[in-house]
Amino acid sequence: MITILMPVYNEGDFIYNNVMTVDNLLEREGIEHQFLLVDDGSRDKSWAELCRLADDHEQVSIIRLSRNFGKEAALCAGLENADGDAVLVMDSDLQHPPELIPEMVRLWRDEGYDVVEGVKEDRGRESLPTKLAALLFYRTFSRTTGIDIGVASDFKLMDRSAVEAWKQLPEKNTFFRGLSAWVGYKRYALPFKVSPRVGGQTKWSMRSLSRLAVNSITAYTAAPLFIIFWLGLLMGIGAIIMTVQTLYIYFAHRADPGFSTVILLQLFIGSAIMISLSIIGLYIAKIYDEVKARPRYLIQSKRGKALK
């Protein structure tokens, strides 16, 4: 039995049909499945549609979070409550092509892969700034953490063992793509093309995306602290060169007032200190978040039999 896990946030009318599309496809392919839909505090009629789905189809289970906690938290809620032998995570707007599911299931069932992940062949229709920002983020992430999530997506099939391993990670700030790569296991990367969205609009603003980027990098690594270290070292070398030059000028009796040098140095050192402080602050904020040990999400209601 495999659980199809979808986060849902303000998907409106489309959600019913989207789920049925996937259901019909899996039915035709003879893949034993159930659905777990997590409503991430939608403010439109999504929850009513989910209830309708659960009423009409016994293979559909639904969870409603008490407010909008974000996609990452919705995925956590889903993974912690799903009870299938494997869990397949996909977007509810069908941007992750359902036609690929049979192949993913085959790789898991017949070839023994624990994690089958969809990797984006192209990123679909996105504006140039979004593309650039994504590229910058993935580069920074893989350079600093050593985990290559390059073209990874949240379109993923995970065996029960990988899900259990993932569930043991205690942190509150999660980044599904990163964490599911961190657990390792026998993996297979399956390329796919991002389809256009089936109705509705994207829920991500530049702001929420940058927050996700900063969160996911600081949640993984202290590498930014090392960048500051190297920066400091570089400035140290610069200072030595400047000292030699200043001394030379002094002894050559061509002593320069050198105000500009002093000011430049002041600026450099000042900014270096500011940057380091802000980065340290970032990590302290992280520690603060983790020690608060708040739950990642709150479940308002749930029903269905695919639940733990």
Residues at the contact surface with Mg ion, assessed by CB under 5 A: 91, 93, 95
Residue 178 bridge partners (DSSP): none
Which x/- pattern over 8-47 shows residues binding ligand UDP (rule: CB under 6 A)?
xx-x----------------------------x-------
Where do the H-state alpha helices sit in the chain?
14-29, 46-56, 71-81, 101-109, 128-145, 160-167, 176-182, 206-220, 223-251, 259-292
- Would you count residue 123 as binding ligand UDP (CB under 6 A)? no
Of 18, 59, 81, 92, the one binding ligand UDP (CB under 6 A) is 92
- Specify the residue, 58 or 99, whose C-beta has the smaller distance to Mg ion: 99
Nearer to ligand UDP, 37 or 162 (CB): 37
For ligand UDP, the closer CB: 77 or 217: 77
CB of 235 to ligand UDP, least distance (A): 39
**Contact of 94 with 124, CB cutoff 8 Å:** no
| Residue 12 vs residues 49, 128, 196, 259, 296: alpha-carbon distances, Å | 8, 28, 17, 64, 25
Footprint of ligand UDP on 182-241 (CB under 6 A): 202-204
Strand partners, 189: 117
Helix axes 160-167, 71-81, angle to 10 degrees: 120
Which residues of the chain form contacts with ligand UDP (CB under 6 A)?
7-9, 11, 40, 68, 70-71, 74, 91-93, 95, 202-204
